[in-house]
Amino acid sequence: MAESNTLRPIYRLGDDLRPHEPIPRSHYLIIAAASTLSLLALWAGLSYTGIVQPTYFLPTPGQVLATASRMLLDGTLAVNAWASIFVIVTGWAVATVMAVPLGILMGSFKFFEALFEPVVNFVRYLPVSAMIPLLILYIGLGVEEKVAVIFIGTFFQLILLVADVAAHVPKDLLDSAYTLGASRRRVVTRVLIPATLPGVMDNLRITIGWAWTYLIVAELVAADKGLGIMILESQRGLRTDRIFVGLVTIGLLGFCSDYIFKMVHRVALPWSPRIR
């Protein structure tokens, strides 16, 4: 028994701090839980002790849970959440369908880089909020205008992210395929595109997070439902508990989308270097 105890490995923090090395799943879950609980404990400590005034500035976790329960029971939270999910997913999906192939073309062929990059680089620096008056003039005040805000906020950024991924595919990989007799079309479809997909998937996961950050801007004008307008209306009435409900809901929806992307990445792209 004493001999078996001496052979038991001793945990060292440095073992979990090696760059690009996986750590045990149990360690990962413990660290993630500890960081989440620490944030909740800080929130509870500041609000319950009165260090931060809970009525108008920082509602307690109990107040937020009670408000969320009431909004779930009367359907308010579900209606607003679904309206925002529809706008976010639609705008982001349209941007993805257009940006991914254009980005691969820009990153792989200098002809398309010269054709598209000047316009993309110019438009991506324009603030989306400044375009809202034009979008209202061109599209109107319906859901299409809100979808367009999300589209513009993600499309031009995603093109450049995908182009960067495609541009960094090792040229030796393509040359090897040519040496083995592959045609240009097969090199593109069987080598170039599969090599870019892991990076593209990471960029899609990042940009859908960006799309959520444009939600308030998208629902700023003439919105009658959605998490963004719910937060804005709660701000006018100093309903910080409802603001926190909206923020927590957005965070949870974003967390769920992030988890889905990680699972799809793991299942659909087993050749990805991120898969261990």
- Which tens digits make up the pLDDT trace of 105-162? 999 889 999 999 899 989 888 888 888 888 888 888 888 888 999 999 899 999 999 9
**Chain centre distance of CA 64:** 24
Cα separation, 232 vs 218, whole angstroms: 12
CB count in 10 Å sphere of residue 69 = 12
Closest by alpha carbon to 248, among 45, 61, 54, 91? Answer: 61
The residue type at 134: L
Q: Does residue 14 register a pLDDT over 80?
A: no
Cβ atoms of residues 97 and 200 within 8 Å? no
Cβ atoms of residues 214 and 147 within 8 Å? no
Cα separation, 269 vs 276, whole angstroms: 12
Cβ atoms of residues 162 and 99 within 8 Å? yes
Q: Pull the structure tokens for residue 89.
A: 């997913």
The residue type at 27: H
Cβ atoms of residues 158 and 210 within 8 Å? no
Cα separation, 131 vs 150, whole angstroms: 12
Residue-level length of the chain = 276
Q: What pLDDT sits at residue 136?
A: 84
The domain locations on the chain are 83-223+250-268
Q: Pull the structure tokens for residue 30.
A: 């413990």
Class of the CATH domain delimited by 83-223+250-268:
mainly alpha
Q: What pLDDT sits at residue 11?
A: 64
pTM above 0.85, yes or no: no
Residue 97 burial (C-beta neighbours within 10 Å; 0-12, 13-18, 19+): exposed
pLDDT in tens, 235-275: 887 788 899 999 999 989 988 888 888 888 888 877 776 65
Q: Does residue 10 register a pLDDT over 50?
A: yes
Cα separation, 88 vs 86, whole angstroms: 6
pLDDT in tens, 164-208: 999 888 888 888 888 888 788 888 888 888 888 888 988 998 899
> What radius of gyration do the chain's Cα atoms show?
24
Q: Does residue 100 register a pLDDT over 90?
A: yes
- Name the more confident of 71 and 217: 71
Q: What pLDDT sits at residue 1?
A: 47
